[in-house]
Protein backbone atom coordinates (compact mmCIF):
# COMPACT_ATOMS: atom_id res chain seq x y z
CA UNK A 1 0.00 0.00 0.00
CA UNK A 2 1.21 3.48 -0.84
CA UNK A 3 2.61 5.67 1.92
CA UNK A 4 0.62 8.91 1.88
CA UNK A 5 1.42 12.08 3.83
CA UNK A 6 -0.73 15.20 3.68
CA UNK A 7 0.77 18.55 4.71
CA UNK A 8 -1.97 21.04 5.55
CA UNK A 9 -3.20 23.87 7.77
CA UNK A 10 -6.41 23.63 9.80
CA UNK A 11 -8.03 26.63 8.10
CA UNK A 12 -7.46 25.54 4.50
CA UNK A 13 -10.65 24.43 2.73
CA UNK A 14 -8.81 22.57 -0.07
CA UNK A 15 -6.98 20.54 2.58
CA UNK A 16 -10.29 19.49 4.13
CA UNK A 17 -11.68 18.51 0.70
CA UNK A 18 -8.51 16.58 -0.10
CA UNK A 19 -8.53 14.65 3.18
CA UNK A 20 -12.22 13.84 2.79
CA UNK A 21 -11.53 12.57 -0.72
CA UNK A 22 -8.83 10.22 0.60
CA UNK A 23 -11.10 9.03 3.42
CA UNK A 24 -14.01 8.43 1.03
CA UNK A 25 -11.72 6.21 -1.01
CA UNK A 26 -10.38 4.33 2.03
CA UNK A 27 -6.84 5.63 1.63
CA UNK A 28 -4.88 5.66 4.90
CA UNK A 29 -2.69 8.74 5.28
CA UNK A 30 -0.60 10.64 7.79
CA UNK A 31 -1.85 14.20 8.27
CA UNK A 32 0.58 16.93 9.30
CA UNK A 33 -0.51 20.38 10.53
CA UNK A 34 2.35 22.60 9.34
CA UNK A 35 1.03 25.60 11.26
CA UNK A 36 1.95 23.76 14.48
CA UNK A 37 5.09 21.94 13.42
CA UNK A 38 8.06 23.99 12.21
CA UNK A 39 10.19 20.90 11.43
CA UNK A 40 7.48 19.41 9.21
CA UNK A 41 6.87 22.81 7.60
CA UNK A 42 10.55 23.15 6.65
CA UNK A 43 10.47 19.57 5.40
CA UNK A 44 7.44 20.36 3.22
CA UNK A 45 9.01 23.54 1.80
CA UNK A 46 12.25 21.66 1.03
CA UNK A 47 10.51 18.72 -0.64
CA UNK A 48 7.95 20.70 -2.63
CA UNK A 49 9.57 24.11 -3.14
CA UNK A 50 6.19 25.45 -2.04
CA UNK A 51 4.95 27.82 0.61
CA UNK A 52 1.38 26.80 0.05
CA UNK A 53 -0.86 23.97 1.14
CA UNK A 54 -2.01 21.32 0.61
CA UNK A 55 1.02 19.27 -0.39
CA UNK A 56 0.75 15.50 -0.70
CA UNK A 57 3.63 13.03 -0.62
CA UNK A 58 2.68 9.69 -2.19
CA UNK A 59 5.66 7.30 -1.93
CA UNK A 60 8.04 10.21 -2.47
CA UNK A 61 6.07 11.71 -5.35
CA UNK A 62 5.10 15.31 -4.46
CA UNK A 63 1.73 16.69 -5.52
CA UNK A 64 1.01 20.37 -5.08
CA UNK A 65 -2.56 21.44 -4.35
CA UNK A 66 -5.60 19.19 -4.57
CA UNK A 67 -4.76 17.74 -8.00
CA UNK A 68 -7.48 15.09 -8.04
CA UNK A 69 -6.51 13.54 -11.37
CA UNK A 70 -2.85 13.08 -10.39
CA UNK A 71 -3.74 11.76 -6.94
CA UNK A 72 -6.32 9.35 -8.39
CA UNK A 73 -3.75 8.07 -10.88
CA UNK A 74 -1.03 7.50 -8.28
CA UNK A 75 -3.41 5.78 -5.86
CA UNK A 76 -5.41 3.89 -8.47
CA UNK A 77 -8.66 5.50 -7.41
CA UNK A 78 -11.41 4.78 -9.91
CA UNK A 79 -13.84 7.61 -10.53
What CA–CA distance (Å, rounded) separates 44 from 49?
8
The DSSP output letter for 40 is H
> Residues 6-45 vs other proteins: string with x where CB under 8 A?
---xxxxxxxxx---x------------xx--x--x----
Q: Does 68 bind other proteins (CB under 8 A)?
A: yes
Q: Does 73 bind other proteins (CB under 8 A)?
A: no
Q: Is 46 exposed, middle or buried (0-12, 13-18, 19+ CB in 10 A)?
A: exposed
Nearer to other proteins, 3 or 20 (CB): 20
Cis bond leading into 54, ω under 30°?
Answer: yes
Chain residues that interact with other proteins, rule: CB under 8 A: 9-17, 21, 34-35, 38, 41, 49-53, 64-66, 68-69, 79
Amino acid sequence: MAKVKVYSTPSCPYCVTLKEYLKDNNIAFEGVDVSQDKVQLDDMIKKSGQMGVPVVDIDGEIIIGFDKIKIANLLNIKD
